[in-house]
Structure 1
């Protein structure tokens, strides 16, 4: 079974087969990490994304990565966190579906080393504990089908939160 690797730093410097990009439904340049990916991917990435079908929340699309240190980008549209109100359960299910869709598409394309950011925990404001729990549950379910699953967080504090969730729920 593949070990899930948690780390922190600049995900755009890591190597793998594919990097997961938090996406806008029209696969246009978004905010946060998405903006950084599009800036580094260049005009070629924007052009290829412009030819893709609209991507609903929880779905995934594949493009080339162009000037990034991976071969492909796996774009997924993450839900907005709304402070745990009446739509919170729906958003949590949609976030889980993002991870599932990305991993199913990666498996279909034969990609074995996948790099994930903390989906939903950036500009879409999911608490790291909720994001980590959904991610780690899905990643553990699919881990036997991949060589490397890496989650790269943006800070040591975020990494600590994910490690606490991992120890509490997923360490044997």
Structure 2
């Protein structure tokens, strides 16, 4: 922690917590607000050790052992259900070849300290190298990421090998859902699948519930779009991927997907 506090752009007059949870949250918050930049090798090694030890504590989930939709919902209408999985839990525990991050158009992660969004969770578990990779991509691109597109980076301290970053549509509170927003959400899933299919080592992908958090996309319709888009893509590309996981965090989200598979 002392190395983070000694960096030139670190906040001043920080009150040091006395307990370990407080100190750990401070480290996380400092990394959340830290701009992408070259990290001191010793600091980088210390952060990696911390994140790897925490990964061991929270335990890696083997996606190969997860039950498929065909098994849990045997009467589902989806022809690709042998490849589909619905799993509730922390996406940063999944050892899928790639996991999907719901990013914003800056594509650098969430800079709000300790914010409870999927973008923050993934960056916090992966480590600062992930933001550095994203910054390199965005620097070369020279403009904000468009809604419905995707980029791929390494996953660093995550059990996955890659992270697919996609920008979902924003649905302002109190507004109706438009056909454009529906198409943009479907494009997020298609773009991730198209991009991942170009890497022969990616056989499994875990999707978060894109745009259903602070971006405000209605959860019922988002689940329907997610499942139908992925099912159609797999049907059109039968030799691509062995397992696609729909990852949800809350019971409410799990129930939304369950209703889709129970139609």
TM > 0.5 fold call: yes
2:247 aligns with 152
SS in 1 for 2:85: strand
Q: Return the offset for 1:83.
A: 5.1
Bigger drift between 76-85 and 8-17 goes to 76-85
Query: Is 1:19–2:19 an aligned residue pair?
Result: no
1:65-113 deviation digits (Å, cap 9, x = unpaired) = 0111100000000111235846622111100000000000011122110
Q: What's the TM-score once normalised by structure 1's chain length?
A: 0.91
Q: Which residue does the alignment assign to 2:193?
A: 103
Corresponding residue of 2:86: 6
- Between the two proteins, the alignment pairs up a number of residues equal to 168
Q: 1:131 — aligned with what?
A: 222
Which of structures 1 and 2 has the larger relative contact order (alpha carbons within 8 angstroms, sep 6+)? 1
Deviations, residues 125-147 of structure 1 (Å, cap 9, x unaligned): 21211111110111101233210
Looking at structure 2, the residues matched to 59 and 39 of structure 1 have their Cα atoms a distance apart, in angstroms, of 23
1: CA distance, partners of 2:124 / 2:175: 34
Matches within 5 A, 1:9-88: 9-30=89-110, 32-52=117-137, 53=141, 54-82=144-172, 85=175, 88=178
**TM-score scaled by length of structure 2:** 0.61
Structure 1 residues 8 and 86: CA distance shift in structure 2, 3 A? closer
Whole-Å separation in 1 of the counterparts to 2:212 and 2:85: 18
- Show CA shifts across 1:19-71 (max 9, x none): 00011212111260001111112121111110113421000000000111100
- The residue number in structure 1 matching 2:59 is none
Between structures 1 and 2, the one with greater strand share: 1
Work out whether residues 82 and 88 of structure 1, in 8 Å CA contact, stay in contact via their aligned partners in 2.
Answer: no
Distance 1:167 1:139 in 2: 17
CA distance in 2, matches of 1:86, 1:160: 23
> Can you give the 5+ residue segments of structure 1 that lack an aligned partner in the other structure?
none
Aligned Cα root-mean-square deviation (Å): 1.6
Q: Which structure would you say has the larger Rg?
A: 2
Label 1:4 to 1:90 Cα distance change in 2 as closer, same or farther (>3 A).
Answer: same
Equivalent-residue separation in structure 2 for 1:154 and 1:114 (angstroms): 16
